[in-house]
Amino acid sequence: MNSVFEVSYSWNKEAIPTGGADPVYMMVEWRYGAPAKRLRKIAPKIMSRDLELLLKPEFGVQLKGIYGCRSKETDIGWVLRLGDVLKGESKQILLEFAVGPHLSGKAAICSAYWSTRKLKQSQRVLLRREQLYIQYTSHLGMLRQPEDPKVEKTIKLNETVPLLKQALRAYERGRIEEGSEMLRRHADALLIEAARKQDMDYFTEAEIVEKLRYHYGITFTTGHHNPQRAMLGE
């Protein structure tokens, strides 16, 4: 049915060691109905407004990072604001957890509550509720399995925004070479991934980083933005 709200959860690793792991990543994807076609002749239909995901981590589990949406910690858990949902449009976020030791087997990590507002109403409706689990093991074969490539890619691409913020702070404080080197290393790492995996998304991301490095280089080496030159009255 096209009206079905679909959600998928993917861990970056098939299993984690019984001693626990930090960090562990989960990619969450959702959509209403069949995947959207790239070319649309009409505007996509809004299926729900103000979608929210409430996450309640289990005891001993920390939700350390939320990437791709606005979020807020409350008394009952973390509220993730995901915006409107268009028919057939797929969206995703990345969650970073720290989990403690546990016996081998499946263990609960957190509860997830999806809710939305009815169209043209303020009432919030619960769409689905589920418990999320992870597999603990001491089996070396399982622990050595490669990471999920889709989740690994999402992790790598989500490193760009916090790194840009960190580099920008360095530029603003006059540490031009430090900021430039941070961006250069990240762009190089993305290019290596692009070549290794033959994935143009990595190449596109590397291009964006290099363009910003060039832009920041010009902007922050002018007299107006260079603190040392400004102090000398140049």
CATH topology of domain 5-35+43-139: Immunoglobulin-like (2.60.40)
Q: Nearest to residue 63, comparing CAs of 106, 104, 94, 101?
A: 94
What does the pLDDT read at residue 102? 94
What does the pLDDT read at residue 13? 94
The pLDDT mean for the chain works out to 88
What does the pLDDT read at residue 41? 63
**Is the four-CA dihedral 190, 195, 197, 202 of positive or negative sign?**
positive
Domain chopping of the chain, boundaries: 5-35+43-139, 149-223
Cβ–Cβ under 8 Å, residues 104 and 18: yes
Strand-pair partners of 51: 83
pLDDT in tens, 119-152: 777 788 999 999 999 999 999 999 999 899 999 9
What does the pLDDT read at residue 21? 86
Compute the average pLDDT of residues 85-90: 88
pLDDT in tens, 154-185: 999 989 999 999 999 999 999 999 999 999 99
Q: What string of DSSP letters covers the chain?
A: -TT-EEEEEEESSS-EETT-EEEEEEEEEEEESSPPPSS-SSPPPEEEEEEEEEEEEPTTEEEEEEESSEEEEETTEEEEEEEEEEBT--EEEEEEEEE----SEEEEEEEEEEEEEPTT---EEEEEEEEEEEEEE--HHHHTSPPPHHHHHHHHHHTHHHHHHHHHHHHHTT-HHHHHHHHHHHHHHHHHHHHHHT-HHHHHHHHHHHHHHHHHHHHHTSTTT-HHHHHTT-
8 residue type, one letter: S
d(CA 160, CA 50): 27
> Is pLDDT of 2 > 80?
no
What does the pLDDT read at residue 227? 44
What does the pLDDT read at residue 55? 98
- Reported pTM: 0.80
d(CA 183, CA 172): 14
What does the pLDDT read at residue 3? 63
What does the pLDDT read at residue 47? 84
**Low-confidence winner among 12-21, 28-37, 204-213 (lowest mean pLDDT):** 28-37
